[in-house]
Structure 1
Amino acid sequence: MGRLRIGDIEVAFEDTADASPSGPSPLLLLHGAVQSRRIWRTQIDALALGRRVIAPDLRGHGETTLGTARLDVERLAWDALGLLDALGIRYASVCGLSLGGMVALEMAERAPSRLHALALANTPTSLTSTGWLRRLVDGLDPQDLLPLVIRLLGGERSARIGLTLASRIIGPHWVGAAARRHFIEGFRTMSPRAIHVTYRAIVEARAADVGHLACPTLLIAGRHDAPSILSQTADLAAELPDANLRTIPAGHVSLLDDPVRFNHLLAEFLEAHGA
């Protein structure tokens, strides 16, 4: 584990630099909302034998501080690029899950020359691109209810109720057992403010401009993910110049639901593109 000061925050991260001083480009792993770098344990163990793997906690998550700057997807992308700079890494492959995938897309838009390859798991382009629904969400600001709910119920209870409601609305396999534990831990340990501004960033996010993206991209979809995310993933596959869409029997956190298939797809993709 390492800690580095990046701008206004102190970033906690895992770095396997000593495991592979030479070889393919380093791999940066970016977790989803209200999670931490701990979700990548299986991927780090599987992939670090042949490459350098870096897995940070995003701003306000895990052991990384929230800082003073406004948390949005663009800021998270600059945080990640700043970490690569601080580690002396000019060129990397990036794999992001959900919010982490949105951050990876923002990195690709802001600094396309820094990415060797891109892997996006269960990644929406924005909360919604439907005009009327976008306006409704912008007007209601539903994430603003989170601090009140957490104060009334506590983080852990709020997470359990939210996950139960989501499983009934989206489907019982949307969040698997391992992912459920990570979400509950995130709600239990993160500050209500960090949770609030994280979901605000997701609600306010707009789709990245990906038409110019030249690096090869792997899209991993979970068969039991939310229909809106599956639809946006399919749209991404059609828009990206060099994309490969693969679907596995998993929910929204596919790397935890089916780590064997996930690791195989990711390793195969990286090897195929010399990344």
Structure 2
Amino acid sequence: MSTDIGDIAIVHDDHPACGVNAGVPVLLLHGAVQTRAVWAGQVEALVDRHRVIVPDLRGHGATPLGGERLTIDRMAMDCLALLDRLGIGRFAVCGVSLGGMVALEIAARAPDRVTALVLANTPRSLSGIGWVRRLVDWLDPQRLLHPTFHILGQARTARIGLALAARLVGPFWVGRDARRHFIAGFRAMSPDAIVATYRAIVESRPLDLGRIHCPCLVIDTLHDATTIREQAADIVAEAPNAMSVVLEAGHVANLDNPAVFNRVLAEFLAVPGRN
């Protein structure tokens, strides 16, 4: 289904809770160049107790890019507008990677509405090191994507990027299912949306974690990039009510290790006060 939220209609799935003792609704947010399809296994695990809302973020899947500049803030405001239109007041939110960055912004913007926050493989920004951020800002690597797409094609660009990541980060950084979703996203998304997505990540700056007061679960993984694992530790150290768990998985934990991810997620949300 789709819901008008301003300059776009955001496409989303809305799964009603099957059980009689339903907890708060849960919003699931996918990563960069993915779609809501990555959450199929989590929807099945949650719908017995929760209404589950799963959108395609702006520019991803079936949701158009629209005319607004794509930023983490913009995606957070989109999600809050969607929940408003659906008549949802209080809710829990779970995001992976880019989706976690958006979830953090939602929790900071609407602290009275977010009952629980789950962040999987989530950086606070592209890098926590100031000079690295300044270097990336100066290089503006996103400007290279359009000519690369023109020469190599989008799917081949994705495969080359994954091969480089396997060498730089490690062979288990992107699992088989995550790789499939990533390549499909690169093949299907418009070049402008891909460039805008990565520019939004590059331009993002670390959020003040003192603003995050709800219970927060940080899902760290053994095979994620070192910088993301370090930032996960920062979130746990600085957010007032954060805790962490480490899974055997790569950068997309819900796809790499869905059984354990689902158990950890359901147990966290089942605690009184979070549901």
What TM-score comes out, normalization by structure 1 length?
0.97
Kindly indicate whether the alpha-carbon contact (under 8 Å) linking 1:104 and 1:118 is maintained by their aligned counterparts in 2. yes
Kindly indicate whether the alpha-carbon contact (under 8 Å) linking 2:17 and 2:48 is maintained by their aligned counterparts in 1. no
Cα deviation for residue 210 of structure 1 reads 1.7
The aligned residue for residue 205 of structure 1 is 204
User: What amino acid maps onto 1:229 in structure 2?
Assistant: I
Kindly indicate whether the alpha-carbon contact (under 8 Å) linking 2:97 and 2:121 is maintained by their aligned counterparts in 1. yes
Looking at structure 2, the residues matched to 20 and 69 of structure 1 have their Cα atoms a distance apart, in angstroms, of 39
Identity among equivalent positions (%) equals 55
Residue ranges of structure 2 left out of the alignment (5+ in a row): none
The aligned residue for residue 13 of structure 2 is 14
| 2:4 match: secondary structure | strand
Residue ranges of structure 1 left out of the alignment (5+ in a row): none
The aligned residue for residue 75 of structure 2 is 76
What TM-score comes out, normalization by structure 2 length?
0.97
Looking at structure 2, the residues matched to 251 and 259 of structure 1 have their Cα atoms a distance apart, in angstroms, of 12
Looking at structure 2, the residues matched to 263 and 18 of structure 1 have their Cα atoms a distance apart, in angstroms, of 16
Looking at structure 1, the residues matched to 264 and 149 of structure 2 have their Cα atoms a distance apart, in angstroms, of 37
- Residues 179-198 of structure 1 show CA distances to partners (whole Å, capped at 9, x for unaligned) of 00000000000000000000
| 1:113 match: secondary structure | coil
The aligned residue for residue 38 of structure 1 is 37
Looking at structure 2, the residues matched to 87 and 120 of structure 1 have their Cα atoms a distance apart, in angstroms, of 23
- Residues 40-81 of structure 1 show CA distances to partners (whole Å, capped at 9, x for unaligned) of 000001111111000000000000111000000000000000
Distance of aligned partners of 1:18 and 1:94 in 2 relative to their CA distance in 1, 3 Å threshold: closer
The aligned residue for residue 235 of structure 1 is 234
Looking at structure 1, the residues matched to 63 and 18 of structure 2 have their Cα atoms a distance apart, in angstroms, of 24
Looking at structure 1, the residues matched to 259 and 17 of structure 2 have their Cα atoms a distance apart, in angstroms, of 25
- Residues 97-141 of structure 1 show CA distances to partners (whole Å, capped at 9, x for unaligned) of 000000011111111111010000000000012121111011001
Kindly indicate whether the alpha-carbon contact (under 8 Å) linking 1:21 and 1:52 is maintained by their aligned counterparts in 2. no
Looking at structure 1, the residues matched to 125 and 84 of structure 2 have their Cα atoms a distance apart, in angstroms, of 27
User: What amino acid maps onto 2:105 in structure 1?
Assistant: E
CA RMSD after TM alignment: 1.1
Residue 150 (structure 2) pairs with residue 151 (structure 1): yes
The aligned residue for residue 130 of structure 1 is 129
Kindly indicate whether the alpha-carbon contact (under 8 Å) linking 2:223 and 2:249 is maintained by their aligned counterparts in 1. yes
Looking at structure 2, the residues matched to 21 and 69 of structure 1 have their Cα atoms a distance apart, in angstroms, of 40
Looking at structure 2, the residues matched to 3 and 57 of structure 1 have their Cα atoms a distance apart, in angstroms, of 10
Q: Which runs of 4+ in 1 moved over 3 A?
A: 18-22
| 2:117 match: secondary structure | strand
Looking at structure 2, the residues matched to 4 and 112 of structure 1 have their Cα atoms a distance apart, in angstroms, of 24
